[in-house]
Chains A and B, each alone.
Chain A
Amino acid sequence: MDIRAQVSSVFHLDKCIGCHTCSIACKNLWTDRRGNEYMWWNNVETKPGTGYPTKWENQEKYRGGWERVGTQLRLKQGGKASTIGKIFHNPDLPTMDDYYEPFTFKYADLTNAPAGTDQPTARPISMVSGKPMKIEAGPNWDDDLSGSTVYAANDPGVIELTEEQQQQLFAIEKMVMFHLPRICNHCTNAACVASCPSGAIYKRGEDGIVLINQDKCRGWRMCVSSCPYKKTYYGWATGKSEKCILCYPRQEAGEAPACFHSCVGRIRYLGVLLYDADLIETIAMKEDGELAAAQREMILDPFDPEVIKAAREGGLAEQIIEAAQASPAYKFVKEWGIALPLHPEFRTLPMLFYVPPLLPVLSTENQGTQKIADNFFTSLEQARLPLMYLAGLFAGGNEEEVKAVYRRLIAVRIQRRALSVDDMSDKEVEKAREISGLNSDALDAIFRMTSLTRIKERIVVPPMLREQAIEAGMNPEEYKQGMGFGSRKAPKRRW
């Protein structure tokens, strides 16, 4: 057993209102530089929709993630030799047009234009070339366009549905959507790490955060094409790839990552998971539908004395083990089993989990008011949002996984409803618990964690051994009371 700690996240999709505050917090902090304007380390997509970059989920187009070849796991974009062979031109690299060309407006024209008969206008110009351009796409171009035949209908997950399911999805007045915020998944079997010819990308042992060493990066761009979530980005002005760093400088100072901190809907939970790194390769080889469950198997109980013993022997700090015991991520993923990884079939073993949205599945149109369907459990089968679609997103196509989560979420609601509305018999509540497989306390705990907790309970940042983190780059004595981290050179090419 090789126990490692991972700072892991859970996003509760029922609570996401799609306000993009997370994206803006991240943008202001990390990607407001030239060459990074188009990058959204955190973005919020409308589902069904094509997303950012367009149709990123379609790996026949982008060739990200892993595939099984016999008994081996291989990067979908090709093996090592083939990767080296592509360094002069990477055929799988998305171009700026797959994302969008960043733009601004010539505001100066508004005041500098000579007097005339019509109003001066600020023309859109490209932030790359500075030349006038036609704006044709943006980072959230299909925001809230759930019924769109251009965007939603081309969602790679929608295309896989049957004709009937698609009609169900696009029925007038029954249109449905939910928001999907995405950051780097800090995968345990990361494809970006595996594809880097320079070996510049690495996973931090202490907390599992995946980072790109900017001095080692030679800009081969293999990580951009191999990441199935398209969460590594090529900085065209610096010639370096960059990605979400899970705000590790903030975490080392004990603060929540900016997107977590700013989340209006309080949908984001963060905590340490302990997992057995020896199992990574075996699990990544499982069948598509088994991957989500197998990944839960990999995650270990931080209260189990044997796990604690093995963790100590593996060199994990005591504070990390304590943080793992207080971790809301552990509760969501393992204890309650209501959070699933996004697209586990990409086989990168992502460490960001989602509580699938319940409301768009169950609510039905009823004289203009939204109402949870009366018969909770049978209604899952006639859900407004086809379960097949959700299973395609969160369980590698395994509907049973998604159903199990929904049964639990529904049971939480039934138990709360019995308490607050008092229109349900004890028998009904008992039946709901039975079907969900969770006891009354667990259901209450889910309700509490979902709606009542404050930031310190939702976001349990482990003590990140900052003194050790600094030590790797500089003398801690000189660093006392200092600010910032590691390299303090501006990310700029001077040659």
Chain B
Amino acid sequence: MADMILFGVFPYVALSLAIGVGIYRYTIDRYSYSSQSSQFLESKALFWGSLPWHYAILLILLAHFLAFLVPASWGTLLGSPARLVFLEVTGMALGITTMIALVILIFRRIINPRVNAVTSRIDWLLLATLLLQVTTGVYIAISLRWGGVWYVHTVSPWLWSLVKLNPQINYLANLPWIVQLHAVNAFFLVAIFPFSRLVHVVSIPISYLGRPYQIVVWYRQRRSS
């Protein structure tokens, strides 16, 4: 029963919250739809935390998504031992990077009185959740080797069963508890996404690349000149 709730129901609850509350917040309070930067208050430690954190976590997320979305191609990619070892080592290095970077970011918020003053309760919850997520992730990578391979046969089918609205919780129920924790915590992150500063992940300013430098806004359409 607990397995059913955690692996079969909670993911849907989390996603519904993310989408529902996310849209609600965007329409009602667009003003807050960003991550509140603290670089103005402290810049040096942020450099060593924020940069490695963002680039490493983006690559790790990319790997997770690729293995989930295109398991067959991912499997083929890992077919050769050389590539498998390369990805395993890279993944582990990136994982450890995120962990160190996150610890820097957390300590920065504890130690620096200015940054501490602008840290909210939900920020602390988010940091703790993220720390749990990357720590379990790194622990899994070290203790349960070749995750790139077994993910394709366990987690990927579970996620696809969720997509098909036919949750097959057995895939996850038979995995070690640490993997279960990692998976449930991932959906917990999805659940708190709309309530926290995590909303900033959907504001990617790509349109900047295509727009002209200057923007002029008129009250009304000008007459043709």
Query: Contact string, B118-142, partner A, CB cutoff 8 A, digits 1/0?
Result: 1000100000000000000000000
Interface of A is mostly: loop
Q: Is the CB of B114 within 8 A of A96?
A: yes
Nearest chain A residue, comparing its CB with the CB of B194: A495
Which chain B residues lie closer than 8 Å to A91 at the CB level? 47
Which chain A residues lie closer than 8 Å to B113 at the CB level? 126, 128-129, 131
Bound-complex Cα distance A325 to B103 (A) = 62
Bound-complex Cα distance A101 to B33 (A) = 27
B35: Cβ under 8 A from any A Cβ: yes
- Which of B35, B40, B208, B215 interacts with A203 by CB under 8 Å? B215
Nearest chain B residue, comparing its CB with the CB of A128: B114
Instruction: From known contacts A95-B42, A236-B38, A493-B32, infer whether A468 and B205 are also in contact, taking CB-CB under 8 Å.
Output: no
Q: Is the CB of A87 within 8 A of B39?
A: no
- Which of A199, A204, A215, A219 interacts with B30 by CB under 8 Å? A215
Q: Is the CB of B31 within 8 A of A493?
A: yes
Query: Contact string, A452-495, partner B, CB cutoff 8 A, digits 1/0?
Result: 00000000000001001101100000000000000001010111
Which of A189, A214, A239, A280 has most chain B Cβ within 10 Å? A239
A-B contact pairs, 7 of them (CB 8 A): A80-B208, A81-B209, A88-B51, A88-B53, A93-B43, A96-B114, A129-B116
Nearest chain A residue, comparing its CB with the CB of B37: A219
Q: Is the CB of B32 within 8 A of A469?
A: no
Q: Is the CB of B40 within 8 A of A89?
A: no
Nearest chain A residue, comparing its CB with the CB of B218: A205
Which residues of A approach B to under 8 Å, CB–CB? 2, 4, 80-81, 83-84, 87-91, 93-96, 101, 126, 128-131, 189-190, 193-194, 196-199, 201-206, 214-221, 224, 234, 236-240, 280, 313-315, 465, 468-469, 471-472, 489, 491, 493-495
Which chain A residues lie closer than 8 Å to B222 at the CB level? 205, 314-315
In order of increasing CB-CB distance, the 3 nearest A-B pairs are: A239-B36, A197-B205, A205-B218
Which chain A residues lie closer than 8 Å to B199 at the CB level? 495
Bound-complex Cα distance A203 to B35 (A) = 25
- Give the Cβ gap from B203 to chain A, nearest Cβ, in Å: 5
Which chain B residues lie closer than 8 Å to A202 at the CB level? 215-217
Instruction: From known contacts A218-B34, A239-B35, infer whether A495 and B213 are also in contact, taking CB-CB under 8 Å.
Output: no
Q: Is the CB of B200 within 8 A of A218?
A: yes
Which chain B residues lie closer than 8 Å to A472 at the CB level? 219
Which chain B residues lie closer than 8 Å to A314 at the CB level? 222-223, 225
Instruction: From known contacts A87-B205, A93-B39, A199-B208, infer whether A206 and B218 are also in contact, taking CB-CB under 8 Å.
Output: yes
B154: Cβ under 8 A from any A Cβ: no
Instruction: From known contacts A218-B33, A495-B32, infer whether A234 and B40 are also in contact, taking CB-CB under 8 Å.
Output: yes
Interface size class of B (residues with CB under 8 A): 35 or more
CB-CB contacts below 8 Å: B185-225 with A: 195-196, 199-200, 203, 205-209, 211, 213-220, 222-223, 225
Q: Is the CB of B40 within 8 A of A468?
A: no
- Give the Cβ gap from B211 to chain A, nearest Cβ, in Å: 6
Q: Is the CB of A203 within 8 A of B214?
A: yes
Q: Is the CB of A495 within 8 A of B25?
A: yes
B60: Cβ under 8 A from any A Cβ: no
B46: Cβ under 8 A from any A Cβ: yes
Which chain B residues lie closer than 8 Å to A189 at the CB level? 214
Nearest chain B residue, comparing its CB with the CB of A94: B40
Q: Is the CB of A89 within 8 A of B50?
A: yes
Bound-complex Cα distance A128 to B55 (A) = 30
Instruction: From known contacts A314-B222, A495-B32, infer whether A89 and B203 are also in contact, taking CB-CB under 8 Å.
Output: no
B41: Cβ under 8 A from any A Cβ: yes
- Give the Cβ gap from A350 to chain B, nearest Cβ, in Å: 14
Q: Is the CB of B219 within 8 A of A468?
A: yes
Which chain B residues lie closer than 8 Å to A489 at the CB level? 31
Instruction: From known contacts A84-B205, A236-B40, A236-B118, infer whether A199 and B220 are also in contact, taking CB-CB under 8 Å.
Output: no
Instruction: From known contacts A80-B208, A95-B39, A218-B203, infer whether A130 and B117 are also in contact, taking CB-CB under 8 Å.
Output: yes
Bound-complex Cα distance A462 to B214 (A) = 24
Q: Is the CB of B31 within 8 A of A128?
A: no
B54: Cβ under 8 A from any A Cβ: yes
Q: Is the CB of A84 within 8 A of B209?
A: yes
CB-CB contacts below 8 Å: B9-36 with A: 25, 29-36
Q: Is the CB of B205 within 8 A of A218?
A: yes
- Which of A2, A129, A495 interacts with B117 by CB under 8 Å? A129
Bound-complex Cα distance A280 to B222 (A) = 19
- Give the Cβ gap from A280 to chain B, nearest Cβ, in Å: 8
Which chain B residues lie closer than 8 Å to A216 at the CB level? 30
Q: Is the CB of A193 within 8 A of B36?
A: no
- Give the Cβ gap from B196 to chain A, nearest Cβ, in Å: 8
Q: Is the CB of A221 within 8 A of B40?
A: yes
Q: Is the CB of B41 within 8 A of A95?
A: yes
Which chain B residues lie closer than 8 Å to A94 at the CB level? 40
Q: Is the CB of B116 within 8 A of A95?
A: no
Bound-complex Cα distance A240 to B118 (A) = 13
Q: Is the CB of A193 within 8 A of B213?
A: yes
Q: Is the CB of A93 within 8 A of B31?
A: no
Which chain B residues lie closer than 8 Å to A203 at the CB level? 214-217
Q: Is the CB of A215 within 8 A of B31?
A: yes
Bound-complex Cα distance A25 to B53 (A) = 43
Which chain B residues lie closer than 8 Å to A2 at the CB level? 225
- Give the Cβ gap from B45 to chain A, nearest Cβ, in Å: 11
- Give the Cβ gap from A241 to chain B, nearest Cβ, in Å: 10
Which chain A residues lie closer than 8 Å to B215 at the CB level? 193, 199, 201-203
Bound-complex Cα distance A130 to B35 (A) = 23
